[in-house]
Amino acid sequence: MTNSRTSSNRNKIRNSLDRRIIATITAGSAVLALSGILFGLPPAFAAEAPIGLGTAGSYSVLGGETVTNTGPTILNADLGVSPGTAITGFPPGLAGGATNAGNAVAAKAQADVVIAYDEAAGRAPTGDMAGDLVGQTLAPGVYKSTGPIDVSGTLTLDGKGDPASVFIFQVASTLTTASASSISLIGGAQACNIFWQVGSSATLGTNSSFKGSILALTSITVTNRTTVEGRALARNGAVTLDNNTFTTLGCAAVPTSGVPTTDVPTTSAPATTTAPATTSAPATTSAPATTSAPATTSAPATTGVPTSGVPTTDVPATDVPATDVPTTDGPTTDVTATESRGLGGANLARTGSLPRTGLEAVPIVLGALAVLMLGVATLVATKVRRRH
């Protein structure tokens, strides 16, 4: 009877221990899975970086052979050509930045276009594209074609809520947009992070709206009344313009996760409540009322201090400065992202309250693995003891 009870107790203890071990393993697995979901593991899911344009980033238009214009085209940034030297049609066209024709500055920008073109062409594709892109909605990524690409209507690019999202289009031959076509941006996508690497030439249809930087191997033709939010950068051929408007801007600052980009208001620190504005004023009771009392400092913000019966004129306000109140309740700077992109489209550092890279999540993953391995080891040891 005693042996039976002892055996039963042992079985209960073993079953309890098994349940604890299984719970430990389950918890470790859950932590490991959650770590992967929250923080990701590099590098498979890393966000695509923008193409570095170097000095070419300051140009609205840069041709290889010539730049020609008809009508009152407006460029808000630089205009240049290299190795060619001919720029015609300015005026009546207007360039908001510098004009560099065949000089060393233009040559350096053209060299940077070559580097950017090769970088864009060398990115690993994340998706394919073919034919006409009209009606499609594309997520951030690198899209590659094996032939010409057309946009006959509206193409939508969805940033998925990430203003730093990047779109790279590797067009094998020609890029052609139809009249009145458009590139629509949603979900935080920005034109500064859209790059069209074109294997031959690009033609933008009349009255169309285009977004992104075109890096064409040969030529770029922008037809009548087309607007471009981006750049036309041709390596070897001409850029032809006709009554167009170019808007070439850097990317907007990406706000830090959970922190607004506006300055932190300092109104929570009263302007003068920490300064005893009129505590030195009671001495005026011995002074005749007709004299200028040296105490009732009616300086700005002496709120809540009674001044009845005491004149408030001729009293210097310097005793109670209304400024220099520490605003330690919250910093007024450095609440936005750590860096803003310039015209070159440089990458913007992203910060947040959670780790954004796999390296930052290593301690959590290792901890989860340790818990998991401990549970497995305990389970194995228990099984061994049972056999003996």
Contact 75, 373 (CB under 8 A): no
Alpha-carbon span 312 to 308, nearest angstrom: 9
> What confidence score (pLDDT) does residue 373 get?
73
- Read off the pTM: 0.59
Alpha-carbon span 293 to 86, nearest angstrom: 80
Give the mean pLDDT of 57-77. Answer: 98
Q: Is residue 4 exposed (0-12), middle (13-18) or buried (19+ Cβ within 10 Å)?
A: exposed
Q: Which two tokens stand for residue 92?
A: 């009546």
What's the length of the chain? 388
Give the mean pLDDT of 131-141. Answer: 98
> What confidence score (pLDDT) does residue 355 get?
40
Enumerate the β-bridge partners of residue 267: none
> What confidence score (pLDDT) does residue 368 get?
64
Alpha-carbon span 130 to 105, nearest angstrom: 37
Enumerate the β-bridge partners of residue 182: 154, 209
Q: Which residue has the higher pLDDT, 281 or 95?
A: 95
pLDDT in tens, 142-179: 999 999 999 999 999 999 999 999 999 999 999 999 99
Determine the angle formed by the axes of helices 362-387 and 2-39, rounding to 10 degrees: 160
Side-chain half-sphere CA neighbours of 181 within 13 A: 25
pLDDT in tens, 299-348: 444 344 344 443 444 434 444 344 443 444 444 444 333 333 344 443 33
The runs of H, that is alpha helices, within the chain are 2-39, 104-122, 362-387
Question: Which of 228, 259, 258, 221 shows the shortest CA–CA distance to 245?
Answer: 228
Domain ranges of the chain: 23-46+358-375, 54-247
Distance of CA 270 to the CA centre of its chain: 35
pLDDT in tens, 349-362: 333 333 433 444 45
> What confidence score (pLDDT) does residue 6 get?
58
